[in-house]
A = this chain, B = another copy of it.
Amino acid sequence: MGQGRPPGTGVVVRNWYPLPVAGSEAGGRVFADLMRLAEMVEAGQPGWTRRVFSPEYLRSRELIWELMGSAGLEVRRDPAGNLIGTLPGTAPDQAALILGSHTDTVAGGGRFDGPCGVMAAIEAVRRIRERGGRPRRTIWVVDFLGEEPNDFGISCVGSRAAAGHLSPEHLRLVDGGGRTLAEALAQMGGDPDRIAEARWPKGAASAYLELHVEQGTRLEEAGRGLAVVTAIAGIHRAEIRLEGRADHAGTAPMAGRSDALLAAAEVSLEVEQLGLRGGLGVATVGRLELVPNSPNVVAERATLIAEYRSGDPSWLSATDELLQEVVSQVPSRRGVRGQLSWLSREDPTLCAEELSSVLLASAREIGEEPLQLASWAGHDAVQVAAICPVAMLFVPSRGGRSHCPEEWTDPQQVEVGTRALAAAVTRLAV
């Protein structure tokens, strides 16, 4: 178990079992749960791939359901396909404490981004139950559906619905195979006709805590085991469509071409320059599609997605303007028509100071002095912040690697994060 690896990946899986975890016997459980889930991957895909609308993702959530159930949670699936495990508290008039994250991955992704937070939350509940206690405040553990971007062009599907922000327009989005998001949701056990019922009632949630891997190197470089997140970077995504002219790659003279591929090359390099401005953000072109994409035809059309992130709203809006200038000016020098459309523009999310203080105190209680960091990655917490205060804990990522098969967090580091999360739950709910 766990020593195998999915086909198509060059990652070496360490012999992780028995677990060299300091402390209680319970310490090995979170990591063992993570490795059980990691075995449920899409055949023929590289790395540890379990994309949101794949059959393997659907099947893997039976494991989540089973783990929640055996931890003493009452499990249900909401109309958005979120799995919600409830541990009823003794004071039903108090709003619930919510713990959550996600278990889907990007294509060619890793084993920690997402599942780490879900497994730590389940373990935190297990430990409360093992101590024989029943919390004062009701606790929910949520495995949100589809946090990663998907073929419908949106991310955070489940948490968006919980916040009441999954609109009928979203449900009508179509993937490459002609399927609507509504149909895909139904295939995952959701009920798109009742999507409004997935919205958490006003006042139902008192606070949301999410543990996640850092996906960066700041903890590793500082030699620390934990970070409390101060803010989550805003993400803007724009689709840039470049319309050139298809021509014979032999007979069309160099001077008269309208080459969409070369325009896309220049735009992509300009996007990099935008990301290098002032050290306040990052900017990436990760996706580029060409038509006809044939070696002997000058490219007629290129469609790329530029995304950029920052914790600074003014940096983001300045980048919006600069990118529009790039798209209106750079391709036209080549006789290529550039068109920009926004896919999403999310402002940075501030974590709640009072909740972050609880996380800080909980970390210190277990002997850790956490860093305080902004998150460069988006999280379900961004959506949930529309309903209640949110706070996040980071555990380290080896070499900062993420969204790749090599993504790794040591078992001891997962345990430290779980203990801090459990301590915070005790402070807030027990």
Contacts and interface: CB of A to CB of B under 8 A. Distances in A.
Interface of A: 46, 106-108, 113, 148-149, 155, 214-217, 233, 235, 237, 245-254, 256, 259, 261-262, 264-266, 268-269, 272, 275-276, 282-300, 305, 307, 309, 375-378, 397, 400-404
Q: Give the copy number.
A: 2
A309 B245 CA distance: 20
Contact of A246 (B215, B252, B404): B404
B106 A294 contact: yes
Contacts of A375: 250-251
Contacts of A248: 113, 215-216, 376-377, 402-403
Contacts of A268: 261-262, 265
A396 to B, nearest CB: 12
B400 A247 contact: yes
A322 to B, nearest CB: 15
B400 A107 contact: no
16 contacts: A106-B292, A106-B296, A149-B296, A215-B251, A216-B253, A246-B404, A247-B402, A249-B403, A252-B402, A256-B400, A266-B269, A286-B294, A287-B293, A288-B290, A297-B403, A297-B404
Nearest to A148: B296
| Chain B CB within 10 Å, residue with most, of A254, A266, A283, A375 | A254
A247 B401 contact: yes
A131 B276 CA distance: 75
Contacts of A292: 46, 106-108, 286
B282 A287 contact: no
A286 B297 contact: yes
A210 B301 CA distance: 32
Listed from nearest, the 5 A-B pairs whose CB atoms lie closest are A265-B265, A215-B251, A249-B284, A250-B376, A216-B251
B247 A235 contact: no
Contact of A254 (B149, B252, B272): B272
A295 B285 CA distance: 6
A247 B264 CA distance: 21
Given A217-B256, A262-B285, A286-B296, 18 more contacts: A106-B292, A108-B297, A149-B296, A237-B295, A249-B284, A250-B282, A250-B309, A250-B375, A251-B376, A251-B402, A252-B402, A254-B283, A259-B272, A261-B288, A262-B268, A284-B296, A286-B297, A300-B404
A82 B65 CA distance: 62
Given A246-B108, A246-B403, A400-B247, A293 B282 contact: no
Contacts of A285: 261-262
A275 B250 contact: no
Contacts of A275: 254
A410 to B, nearest CB: 18
A292 to B, nearest CB: 5
Contacts of A262: 268-269, 272, 285
A214 to B, nearest CB: 7
Given A250-B376, A377-B248, A294 B404 contact: no
| Chain B CB within 10 Å, residue with most, of A235, A251, A285 | A251
A284 B262 CA distance: 9
A276 B254 CA distance: 7
Contact of A286 (B253, B276, B295, B305): B295
A269 B430 CA distance: 62
Nearest to A309: B250
Contacts of A401: 247
